[in-house]
Amino acid sequence: MHNYHFPSQTAIYHGKVRDVYTIQQNWLVMLASDRISAFDVILPKPIPYKGQVLNQIAAIMLEATNDICPNWLVAVPSPTVSIGKKCIPFKIEMVVRGNLVGHAWRTYQTGARKLCGVSLAEGLKENDFFPTPIITPSTKADAGHDEDISKEEILKQGLATASDWAILEKYALALFQRGKEIALKQGLILADTKYEFGKIGETIFLMDEVHTPDSSRYFYSEGFETRQQSGEKQKQLSKEFVREWLIANNFMGKEGQTVPEMTDEWINTISKRYIELFEKVSGKNFVPETISELEIEKAVTESLKKLNVI
């Protein structure tokens, strides 16, 4: 993990997979690392080009949705770096689900028919479409696991006002709809994703990454219905295959469990899957770039000067 020193830097935060530098008080420099996390645990070895994949998909998707709502991004000076406005974040993640998959399916399998206060119909199979997309928020934990929360609880705890919630809900569903349209053009189904929002003054901004493999799950649309009818596993592009590998090796981030060994071959496989997802989601060829720390510092400094931040 590298600590950069950018001009006018006032704070550093090392997240699970990203390092965030505050410039003065109202700008952020976000570096997408090659670290990978699952079950809220950072796995011991980095994945080549993962940071570049995440940063570049996020930039493409933020650009493709900026007519729906304002977002934080201002510049992408380097393949793994984004610069944007610092917002005061809502302490919630807006998780939007179009299909019964992942955490929602695991909950459904226990017999629960409510998720985050949203009622789920009887008789659904894994990966089935919901009649309309649903919002199942989670709390944004500073440490440990994020927890499911209902709209009622969010309002009761004061995590958002009723008027802010109405905007968050509207933005999240509109962004998901756009994400689905973009995905479908590429032969994919956006099954679920999460959005994070913050405020500057009274304006709500979309923050963080959008429609990336770390924040979203994609299925291949070709053959989807046939696979559903025959009870076959769906082909998906997401980080889920890493979670499945961990589960198969008895690791779910619980106390006393050990992360299984990550061989070079397995790391290479994960890297290829991330690159495949970039190309599939964006429709562009991936050009791997290795940028030195010195070049990153230079590119960020020049960009901050251009933006009149320093």
* Alpha carbon of residue 207 to chain centroid: 10
Mean pLDDT in the chain?
Answer: 95
pLDDT at 214: 85
Domains of the chain with CATH codes: 9-86+267-306 (3.30.200.20), 88-237 (3.30.470.20)
Tokens 């999240």 locate to 172
Q: State the Cα torsion 25-297-36-241 to the nearest 10°.
A: 110
Q: Return the pLDDT at 275.
A: 95
**Contact 157/67 with Cβ under 8 angstroms?**
no
Share above pLDDT 90 across residues of the chain, in percent, rounded to a whole number? 89
Q: Tens digit of pLDDT for each residue in 80-114?
A: 999 999 999 999 999 999 999 989 999 999 999 99
What is the per-residue pLDDT for 220? 95
Q: Does the pLDDT of residue 1 top 80, yes or no?
A: no
Whole-angstrom distance, CA of residue 196 vs CA of residue 6:
25
Q: For 148-173, what is each residue's pLDDT tens digit?
A: 999 999 999 999 999 999 999 999 99
Q: Which residue has the higher pLDDT, 136 or 276?
A: 136
How much is the pLDDT for 192? Answer: 97
User: Taking 90 as the threshold, does the pLDDT of residue 31 lie above it?
Assistant: yes
For residues 29-58, give the mean pLDDT: 95
pLDDT, residue 237, reads 83
Confidence of residue 239 (pLDDT cuts 50, 70, 90): confident
pLDDT in tens, 53-87: 999 999 999 999 999 999 999 999 999 999 999 99
pLDDT digits (tens, 9 = 90+) for 122-144: 999 999 999 999 999 999 876 66
Q: How far apart are CA 66 and CA 63, in angstroms?
A: 5
Contacts of 234 (CB under 8 A, 6+ apart): 101, 127, 219, 220, 224, 227, 228
Q: Can you say how many angstroms the Cα of residue 300 is from the centroid of all Cα atoms in its chain?
A: 23
pLDDT band at 236 (very low <50, low <70, confident <90, very high): confident
Q: pLDDT (tens digit, 9 = 90+) per residue, 165-205?
A: 999 999 999 999 999 999 999 999 999 999 999 999 999 99
pTM of the full predicted structure? 0.92
